[in-house]
Amino acid sequence: MSSNPAIVVSDLSVEYPARGASASCVALRGVSFRVEPGEVLGILGETGSGKSTLAAILAGRGLPQRASEPGPRVSGGDALVLGRSMRKARKRDIAEVTFHVGYLPQDAASSLEPSLTISENVALPIFERDEHYSRRAAGERAATMLDTVHLPLSVLNKYPYELSAGQRQRVAFARALVLGPNVLVADEPTAGIDATVRDAVIDLLGNLKDHPEFSAVLVSHDLSVLRRATSNALVLHTGRVVGYGPIEEVLASPEHPFVAGLAKALKPPQRRTERRPQRAPAE
């Protein structure tokens, strides 16, 4: 088992430079944490806290290669993903990270190619790497991945429009895992999944912890998902870390009002004990 951390984030700051009439925006401020092999880290925070920006950077997506390109810039600190710097990443580094890091972006269900079958969609990352790869072997791999995310093989030859939003989300999940990545970065992985299969997907995410060489970062607004599927949690608020550690410990001893609010929201409401009126004595 490798002793090197899968991810090391050190004092990371990220900003979106000013473009046209839009002013610059700081998305992350001095963020630090580690993800060890076999660890599943949950990232929690409200809208605009920087969760999705952090997820995209850890997955090696969205980082501009030229100054003229739009996208977030690492303005301070660094993020090492499988030993590769995201601050100084070159095209070769990005290619290496995107090969070994599976990525399930937010609204992944809408990112499927409408003109391709479900089998072709799942296998797409394979052919992006090797256009001469065996079609039969890719189809078999796609079938295995669909089974992993609890979809029937009858969907293999269907098209995205023929599936529900929850089914399309699971297809995107299968596509993120098809290359057998060392790390999975999933941004709201249970979004749009109906209640009947949601628990199965959460269990699948939780089972990732049983693979000692596999690590994951799960972004979710749903605390029940993170409590069941993750080892540790990182809480972001306006781009800063306001809680980090085992999720129950973070919630039990909140050091920031935002975390205290989360903990309070989790507590079941106290039941009021009302005194019953006494019966009149029988005559």
Q: Which two tokens stand for residue 23?
A: 């002013």
pTM for the whole structure: 0.86
E strands present in 82-157 = 84-85, 101-104
Each residue's pLDDT expressed in tens, for the chain with a length of 283 residues: 457 899 999 999 999 888 777 778 899 999 999 999 989 999 999 888 999 999 999 999 877 766 667 778 899 999 999 999 999 888 888 989 999 999 999 888 888 999 999 999 999 999 998 999 999 999 999 999 999 888 999 999 999 999 988 889 889 989 999 999 999 999 988 876 777 667 777 777 777 666 777 899 999 888 888 888 888 999 999 999 999 999 999 989 888 998 998 888 776 555 555 555 555 555 5
Q: Please give the pLDDT value at position 214.
A: 87
Question: H or E segment at 178?
Answer: none
Q: Please give the pLDDT value at position 2.
A: 53
CATH topology of domain 7-263: Rossmann fold (3.40.50)
Q: Please give the pLDDT value at position 1.
A: 45
Q: Please give the pLDDT value at position 67.
A: 67
Helix (H, G, I), strand (E, B) or coil at 231: coil
Crossing angle between the packed helical segments 195-207 and 165-177, to the nearest 10 degrees:
10
Distances (CA, A) of 128 to 30, 99, 123, 125, 148: 35, 10, 9, 5, 22
The domain segmentation of the chain, as residue ranges, is: 7-263
Distances (CA, A) of 70 to 64, 85, 93, 272: 6, 20, 19, 55
